[in-house]
Structure 1
């Protein structure tokens, strides 16, 4: 099972995206655990994650997240277009591709 962390300012704005990503994962039989957290909470669970994806509103904190993960896993900023459209399929596909390229 792949563990995906979505990080935003308060952990709230990504909850709908999580649902859409999970719905798409279910249709393609992909086993994933997707969690939405605030930037202040992510470091408590990042050790078990396969990827961290930042909401566009916290992209300025990418360097901070990179410093925490130290290259162990990918850290991506979610494409603003996909985020705004709540395109769970596109975001999940991006996450899975990055995870697979990191292995």
Structure 2
């Protein structure tokens, strides 16, 4: 099963997006694990994930996350419009493209 990590600041809005993405995956019949962690904890799962998406509010930490991931998997900032509207389907579709 593929694992998708969303990196956030505190996790409030990102956890809502995770739920919407899980709903979108279920509608598509896709089995994927999606979870969110703050930047400070992404080191603990760096070798277990297939894609890392950063919330727009932590886009400035992309270089730090990329150094933790060390080029092993794609790291991308979530589109601000998709994040702001909590468009789980759009964010999931982009993550699947990155896979």
Q: Could you say whether these structures have the same fold, taking a TM-score greater than 0.5 normalized by the shorter chain as the test?
A: yes
- Per-residue CA deviations over 1:35-80 (Å, capped at 9, x if unaligned) read 1111111111121000110000000000011111111100000000
Q: CA deviation at 1:13?
A: 2.0
**TM-score (structure 2 length as normaliser):** 0.97
- Aligned-partner Cα distance in 1 for 2:57–2:76: 13
Q: What is the alpha-carbon root mean square deviation over aligned residues?
A: 0.7
Unaligned runs of 5+ in 2: none
- Aligned-partner Cα distance in 1 for 2:37–2:73: 17
Count the aligned residue pairs: 99
Q: CA deviation at 1:11?
A: 2.2
**TM-score (structure 1 length as normaliser):** 0.93
Task: Detail structure 1 runs of 4+ shifted over 6 Å in the superposition.
Answer: none
